[in-house]
Amino acid sequence: MQRFEGKVALVTGAGRGIGRGVALCLAEEGANIIVNDLAPTEGLGARATVREVEALGRRALAYDADISDREQVAALFAAGVAHFGRIDVVVANAAFSIREPVIEARWEHVLRTLEVTQFGAYHTCQAAAQQMVKQGSGGKIVIIASILGEIVFPNSAAYNMAKAAVIHLGRTLSAELAAHRINVNVINPGYIDTPGERKFATEEQIVQAARNLPWGRLGTPRDIGRAVAFLASDDADYITGTTLVVDGGYKQAMRLPEA
């Protein structure tokens, strides 16, 4: 399928992990991609994803920006429009997390988590809405939240509350933008196999976690990319303000203790 032929998509945090998976899935279906991430380190970053997008025969623009900074977000969108002429799909994916119990959490870590994960999503969605309303031809906004915005996960309070907030942001924005035919939806991934998870768990722990899931494996960035591609396509024209859980049955696996 080529559901995005002639369309332009902007994906934040797309240098690796879920963002990269989203960018590649959209490019496979015809989209040109604005690839955002922080400035690259150790060969990672937006440019690596750009090369993969271009290998699929699509055009791509790498743009380094910290989405917690409103001025950098504005510059990101301005550069994307200057390069491609328009933006049809925006995926607010970039996030940050440091796992600490509340009683020990350092405020700078909490603040950075909120600045990127919550406020960064707000900046991205606001800029997307402004550009799409200006274009006057509708659009698609997809926010990557988390099942941790729905269920308790100890040692992750700042991230949990940030993801809960962006879920509600998506619902609110969908109501505000419906008259402009701009669909706004949220995806809540479960346990996804990304480089970021290696900050918090060993390979052995990750393998064991996969065995414990109902689907028998961790999710992949491509699993989330395919879900984004659906919600960002015309196939989902009548879907807005919804939250799609993509977790391989993670929540359904929660059980009360045996009697």
Enumerate the active-site residues: 159
Residues in the chain: 259
**Strands 182-189, 243-246: parallel, antiparallel or unpaired by DSSP?**
parallel
CA dihedral 127, 232, 4, 230 (to 10 degrees): 160
- Check if the beta carbon of residue 56 is closer than 8 Å to that of residue 87: no
Q: Which of 152, 70, 173 is nearest to 116 (CA)?
A: 70
Q: Which of 231, 229, 237 is nearest to 29 (CA)?
A: 229
End-to-end alpha carbon distance in the chain: 50
Start-end of H helices in the chain: 17-28, 46-55, 70-84, 107-113, 120-135, 157-177, 203-212, 221-231
Rounded Cα–Cα distance for residues 79 and 65 (Å): 11
162 class by beta-carbon count within 10 Å (0-12 exposed, 13-18 middle, 19+ buried): buried
